[in-house]
Homo-oligomer: A and B are copies of this chain.
């Protein structure tokens, strides 16, 4: 499947999933005028809808019917959007999918509550699956969702703990285990397993799907880390080098630190320990410093007074500036990464995992030749070649 066909397949799945989500989310009532409207905000923004597509493709390539899997695909997308809302609050992100984040528009209390309400609402269609699929399948899907939620919050906890403690004595293996939990279960394994469960797959088929999805999920996250440093802002849709500002542990940065001299490593670790600047609450000094500069130009301010005022302003905002990363800090890390070829290193490892996934797919003749198998095959290339 080529890139255009892949996009069409994703778009078709997205449209079907959105219709299902709109059926799950209650209509706004006088009692709850905005809650259900806000729940639709993120799902309706432009997105790949990769998780529902993987779920639908796995089900259909195994001979399962579309109608049976749509509700579960919608539940996965609902969970995903709920976690995105919470992630954005956690990270203080300003924009998501080219628009302001939910908390930027409505405040954090409303955003956290909308996320919680979406997680709560997902319980009802999970129970409703019993009518649609029978008790056995519905229960196995619930167990898969419970496992997904546990694995991804554990993966997230490991990553946040590394950031919090500034621990950089980690191996590539530690990283791969973390993203296996954080990303692979959530984005690949669970969607594909649920597709397989709906299609009534045999245990060994599910085991193969899981293996394929795990390898692909790891490759996907490594490529995501690469895009975070190399992507173009308007294509990638996220802040460039955000991972460096946040001090996230990536194969790229870990490789650069290993390859660096001990002086460089010390300097890089010092930088990484610094907090991300808290842009939202800091005063806006640029307009203020312009006023000072204008006064100075007009001779209404002596050089000494200008200096005294600037120093006092720096003191007054010291809460914000102390120990915070600067653009120079990020430049330093970027140069280290470039000098040691760390991006190429990470790309090679992503390709290695994608090739392994490809080999697993080659040993799964029971995934029937079809547009659906073609999509799964196409995703292998997409994962390491994508720019968004």
Residue pair B35, A157 in contact (C-beta under 8 Å): yes
Q: A328 to B354: give the CA distance in the assembly, Å.
A: 64
**Interface assignment of A369: CB less than 8 Å from any CB of chain B:** no
Contact B127 A143 (CB under 8 A): yes
Residues of B within 8 A of A177 (CB): 31
With the chains together, A376 CA to B316 CA distance in Å? 53
Nearest Cβ in chain B — how far from A177, in angstroms?
7
Q: Encode A135-155 as 1/0 by CB contact (under 8 A) with B.
A: 100010011011001100110
Query: Which of B106, B123, B287, B312 is A145 in contact with, Cβ under 8 Å?
Result: B123
Contact of A316 among B35, B285, B301, B315 (CB under 8 A): B285
Residues of B within 8 A of A146 (CB): 120, 123-124, 127
Q: Given A305-B295, A305-B301, A315-B287, A154–B32 Cβ distance below 8 Å? A: yes
What CA separation (Å) do A302 and B156 show in the bound complex?
56
Are A35 and B117 in touch, CB under 8 angstroms? no
The verdict on A19 contacting chain B, using a C-beta distance below 8 Å, is no
Q: Is the CB of A316 within 8 A of B113?
A: no
A83 touches B288 (CB 8 A): no
B residues near A363, Cβ cutoff 8 Å: none
Chain B residues closer than 8 Å to A135, beta-carbon distance: 135
| Interface flag for A121 (CB, 8 Å) | yes
* A263 CB within 8 Å of chain B: no
Point out the residues of chain B lying under 8 angstroms from A130, CB to CB: 139
Query: In the complex the two chains form, what is the Cα distance from A135 to B90 in whole Å?
Result: 38
In Å, the complex CA distance between A112 and B90 comes to 7
Contacting pair B160 A142 (CB below 8 A): no
CB <8 Å contact, B300 and A305:
yes
User: Is residue A233 within 8 Å, beta carbon to beta carbon, of the partner chain?
Assistant: no
Q: Does A362 interact with chain B (Cβ within 8 Å)?
A: no
Interface residue from B91, B283, B316 paired with A319 (Cβ < 8 Å): B283
Q: Which residues of B contact A292 (CB under 8 A)?
A: 309, 312
Q: Chain B residues near A127 (CB, 8 Å)? A: 139, 142-143, 146
Closest Cβ of chain B to A136, distance in Å, is 11
Query: Which residues of B sit under 8 angstroms from A109, Cβ to Cβ?
Result: 90-91, 160
Known A112-B90, A291-B312, A313-B288; contact A157-B117, beta-carbon cutoff 8 A = yes
Assess whether A317 is interfacial by the CB under 8 Å rule. yes
Query: Which 4 pairs, one residue from A and one from B, show the smallest C-beta to C-beta distance?
Result: A120-B149, A281-B281, A117-B153, A35-B157
